[in-house]
Amino acid sequence: MICLDSSKPAASFQIRRRPFTEREITDPRTMFAIDVDRILHSKAYARYIDKTQVFYMVKNSHITHRVHHVQMVSRLARTIGARLNLDLDLLEAAALGHDIGHPPFGHDGEGFLSELCQQAGIDPFVHSVMSVRFLERLEKKGKGLFLTLAVLDAVLCHDGETKYSEVVPDQGEPTFEHFESRIKRRLANPKALIRPLTREGCVVRLCDSISYVGRDLEDAMELGLALREKIPTEVTEVLGNTNGTIIFKLVEDLVSRSCNEDKLTALSPAVAEALAKLKKFNFEHIYYNPAVKREAPKIQKLYRILFERLSDDFKKGGQLPHCQKFLAGLDQNYPQTNSPYEMARDFIAGMADEYFLALATELLLPKWNIESFI
């Protein structure tokens, strides 16, 4: 099914980035195509390749990493967007940028870091807010990428953990002032429902769930968890029991349910219920599985030690070589406008898993002095 109405949401084209430079006026690319390229060429995007999706401390090249996940979200969003006549560049930019703020070791790492932040007296760590922070405040030596508000808003609101199976765009003002208030709301209550301003943002929000729910099952079975036969019958009868059939059923249902709607992006009730049951199954058999969480207590301890060590060093102006290099990549006013705990949070959030472990090893393990103390 393809929607025949060629109109596109006006809000998608009324929203602009903070500065509107002369170069962009003559640039042959669309505003959102510029955003796609800026995200792809960012340092934060490059770090995706070594960041965990679900399974960490596993030597298996076939397991999904964060970079693979965002590419799948992008592909799904563009596939659905083409059939709903949405802006494909906006969809791609939002999909590729939505998880840039994820810290090492996936959602476990996010929980560990959030707890440390709150104990230090700063805002809880929320990866969607951190994604916006990287894109707006930390990239390009602190200048940011100057992305459009529509992309930043979709990144902030993506929330693939949501239990909602339908999304209607928020009717708030498409201004940066309103956007800043939504960030504060998300930090005040990380579980609060914050709807995207555009329908493209709504599609990315649902594609986040569609992209991982079946893929996580396949990854778990790749690692030896026999789960396919355990999937509830009420799920398999609606969605099937492989990643391919699950994605196909969800995409076809979403397009069919949303095609004749001006604003609503949704799954049908029966499919939404099956998806909810599949997510519950994944939580019970994968995400909370003791075998999957085996190394989590050690990672949590390393998070605490690194956070404390880095924040202590930032209090002294950043004397460790790694902290000096981190600060050199940011605006000179960054230390004056951020507390040592916020700097430690930003530094850790940008780390890939292997860098996190390598830094922990370097800072924590004693070194031999073979010849002398000179």
pLDDT per position as a tens digit, 147-186: 999 999 999 998 755 566 778 888 888 888 889 999 999 9
Tell me how far apart the alpha carbons of residues 89 and 96 are, in angstroms, rounded to a whole number.
11
Which pair of tokens denotes residue 314? 């930032």
Same domain, 155 and 271: yes
> What residues contact 254, with CB distance under 8 A and at least 6 apart?
80, 206, 210, 265, 266, 267
Domain annotation covers residue 102: yes
Contact 53, 99 (CB under 8 A): no
The answer to the question of residue 82 being in a domain is yes
- For 49, 52, 89, 195, 241, the CA distances from 65, given in Å and listed in that order, are 7, 5, 23, 27, 22
Residues 330 and 247 in one domain: no
Q: Which residues of the chain have pLDDT under 70?
A: 1-17, 19-25, 160-164, 369-374
> Would you say residue 226 lies in a domain?
yes
Among 231, 253, 287, identify where a domain stops.
287
Model confidence pLDDT, tens digit, residues 124-140: 999 999 999 999 999 99
Does residue 315 sit in the same domain as residue 272? Answer: no
pTM over 0.95: no
Residue 243: count other Cβ atoms within 10 Å of its Cβ.
Answer: 19
254 and 305 inside one domain: no
In a domain, 6, yes or no: no
Same domain, 47 and 175: yes
Residue 322 Ramachandran class (φ > 0 left, ψ -120 to 50 alpha, else beta): alpha
Joined together, the tokens standing for residue 369 give 């002095």
pLDDT of the residue at 152: 96
Domain boundary (234, 259, 287) is at 287
Are 240 and 274 in the same domain? yes
Quick one: pLDDT at residue 2? 57
List strand residue ranges (DSSP E) for 222-284, in order: 265-266
Is 13 part of a structural domain of the chain?
A: no
Tokens read off for 38: 């800026």
Residues 176 and 218 in one domain: yes
237, 146: one domain: yes
What is the number of structural domains in the chain?
Answer: 2
Predicted pLDDT of residue 3: 62
The domain in which residue 67 lies consists of 29-287
Instruction: Specify whether 306 is located in the same domain as 160.
Output: no
d(C-alpha 330, C-alpha 143), whole Å: 8
Shared domain check, 302 and 250: no
Answer yes or no: is 36 within a domain.
yes
Asked if 208 and 356 sit in the same domain, the reply is no
- Domain final residue pick, 246, 263, 287: 287
CATH number of the domain enclosing 198:
1.10.3210.10
Torsion-angle region of 58 (φ positive above 0: left; ψ -120 to 50: alpha; else: beta) = beta
Cross-strand partners of 190: none
The pLDDT, as a whole number, for residue 262 is 78
- Asked, for residue 23, whether it belongs to a domain, the answer is no
Asked whether residue 371 is domain-assigned, the answer is: no
Residues 253 and 311 in one domain: no
